[in-house]
Chain A
Amino acid sequence: MSTQHEHTDDGEPETPGDRRRAEKAARAAEREQEAADAEPDLGDDAVTLKVFRYDPEVEAKAEPRFDTFRIPFEKGMTVLDALIAARDTYDSSLTFRHSCRQAVCGSDALFINGRQRLGCQTQIADLEGDVVRVEPLPHQDVVKDLVVDMEHFYDQMEAVEPYFQTDETPDDDLEEQFQTPENREKIKMSTRCIWCGACMSSCNIAAGDNAYLGPAAINKAYRFAMDEREGENMKEHRMELIEQENGVWRCQTQFSCTNVCPKDIPLTEHIQELKREAVKSNLKFW
């Protein structure tokens, strides 16, 4: 979304306000440092978090760095819980997205100990090693700390016409379209996507090439292409979308998308199935 900047309360560079803000920033940085340095005695049961920090506006954070936080461990603690604890007790400027806490909103896909995972779905007890290392999703621009820019991901999702379209709709308000339980089962896994972006972030092809639709968008396309309610004509149209240059053919079956998907969607399988479908539908014209 491009919007023009309206500078309201930060006009000239050297206003008293700016000075105060700068001082405040310096103090905040100091406090952070103290918080990071001070190692309160938390006993054996403490988690060490190493968190990526970056903020273009705050001098101390303009050059990315890692901060360390020690958090008392509690049974059942997730990485998200630990991040919240770090934020609420040590440094309220620690920034990350979160909402549902139950793996349905897709807000908190992060790079945790070298792998894309949802913070809320990752039990600290299940992680190996003493240190939990949390970084923003790779291959996306970092806006601040753990927050990445998701616009490109959304654009790709929306590029596959991610909405139901059908050859004919029922005339009556109360008339449903039929769908066999088998067909529903077929699309079931693909409908589970929560738009977290983990798969896109893990795919090397998507990383090297922004034009590639990526696993999530292709899976979305699969969800509709395989839905028998859409009808034959629509399916042809769907296949055209999928077969475009930046669609399925770019996938090199790396499987990392499938490995990281928090909803266990068999992404590679879906992509491969679409490749075969595409070949089949092309063969007809030969």
Chain B
Amino acid sequence: MSQSYDRGTVEDFGRWRSFTAGMWAWIFHKFTGWVLIGYLFTHIAVLSTALAGETAYENTIVGLEGLAIVRLLEVGLLAVAVFHILNGVRLLFIDLGKGLEAQEESFYASLVLTGAITVASVPTFISGVF
């Protein structure tokens, strides 16, 4: 066969510019999914301080919750979770063959809703640290 030119990584990285809604949704869902599973591992690790006793547990939680950075991360976590949930629901509908024509709209709706819910929840999360 003739030689042929493989555009390799250059192409792969350049391609995000031509991404369409469905592809962004896929990227975001992947990303949020990974964050969530990562969080689940940490979460269980943190909670298992309970094995070392009541005080160890309370100190860890309160200590962590006292840090502004943790509060901010929590807001991020909420955003991630909300997006994953909303887009997850969108995907479930797509799997059921419902609303395929509106796949772009439903992705944008997920984004907007995620933004709104996150913003609305900021006071709750921040209260007490600052």
Q: Count chain A residues whose beta carbon lies closer than 8 angstroms to a beta carbon of B.
A: 31
CA distance A241 to B26 in the complex (A): 25
Q: How far is the CA of A141 from the CA of B6 in the complex (A)?
A: 5
Interface 0/1 of A96-129, CB less than 8 Å to B: 0000000000000001001100000000000000
Whether B1 contacts A1 by the Cβ 8 Å rule is: yes
Range of interface residues on B (Cβ < 8 Å): 20 to 34
- A112–B21 CA distance with the chains assembled, in angstroms: 18
- Cβ of A207 within 8 Å of any chain B Cβ, yes or no, is yes
Asked whether A56 and B20 contact (CB < 8 A) given A138-B11, A255-B103, the answer is no
Per-residue interface assignment for chain A, residues 265 to 286, with 1 indicating a CB less than 8 Å from any chain B CB and 0 otherwise: 0101100110110000000000
* Number of residue pairs spanning A and B whose beta carbons lie under 8 angstroms apart: 73
B63 within 8 A of A: no
B17 shortest CB reach to chain A, Å: 6
A142-158 at interface with B (beta carbon < 8 Å): 142-143, 148-149, 151
Let me know if A254 and B23 touch, CB within 8 A.
yes
Q: State whether the Cβ of A184 lies closer than 8 Å to any Cβ in chain B.
A: no
> Is the CB–CB distance between B91 and A138 below 8 Å?
no
A17 to chain B, nearest CB (A): 20
State which of B12, B19, B20, B26 has its C-beta within 8 Å of the C-beta of A253: B26
A139 an interface residue at 8 Å Cβ cutoff? yes
Task: Find the B residue at minimum CB distance from A203.
Answer: B23
B68 to chain A, nearest CB (A): 37
Interface residues of A in 226-267 (CB under 8 A from B): 252-256, 259, 266
Q: Which residues of B contact A114 (CB under 8 A)?
A: 17-18
Any B CB within 8 A of the CB of A2: yes
Give the residue of B2, B7, B18, B94 whose beta carbon is less than 8 angstroms from that of A115.
B18
The interface residues of chain B lying within 8 Å CB-to-CB of A115 are 18
Contacting pair B91 A2 (CB below 8 A)? no
Assess the B95–A276 pair: CB atoms within 8 A.
Answer: yes
B4 / chain A contacts, CB cutoff of 8 Å:
56, 141-143, 148-149
Bound form: Cα–Cα A171–B121 in Å: 72
- Give the distance in Å from the alpha carbon of A230 to the alpha carbon of B12 in the complex: 41
A113 to B15, CA, bound (A): 12
* A95 lies within 8 A of chain B by Cβ: no
* CB-based nearest B residue for A64: B5
Chain A residues 38-59 with CB under 8 Å of chain B are 54, 56
Chain B residue, CB-CB nearest to A272 = B97
Is B3 close to A, CB under 8 A? yes
The answer, yes or no, to whether A166 is at the interface (CB within 8 Å) is: no
Decide yes or no whether B22 CB sits under 8 A from chain A.
yes
A103 nearest CB across to chain B (Å) = 21
Which chain A residues lie closer than 8 Å to B20 at the CB level?
A: 255-256, 259
Asked if B61 is at the interface (CB within 8 A of a chain A CB), the reply is no
Contact B7 A142 (CB under 8 A): yes
Point out the residue from A56, A138, A266 that lies within 8 Å of B5, measured CB to CB.
A56
Contacts of A143 in B (CB 8 A): 2, 4-5
Knowing that A141-B4, A276-B95 are A-B contacts, what are 17 other residue pairs whose CB atoms are under 8 Å apart, sorted by A's residue number?
A1-B1, A111-B18, A138-B7, A138-B15, A149-B4, A252-B26, A254-B22, A254-B23, A254-B26, A255-B20, A255-B104, A256-B22, A268-B22, A268-B100, A269-B97, A269-B100, A275-B95
| 10 A-B pairs closest in CB distance | A255-B22, A141-B4, A114-B18, A142-B5, A56-B3, A254-B22, A254-B26, A143-B4, A254-B23, A269-B100
What would be 18 A-B contacts, judged by CB atoms less than 8 Å apart?
A56-B5, A141-B4, A143-B4, A143-B5, A148-B4, A149-B4, A151-B1, A253-B22, A253-B103, A256-B22, A256-B23, A259-B20, A268-B100, A268-B103, A269-B100, A272-B95, A273-B97, A276-B97
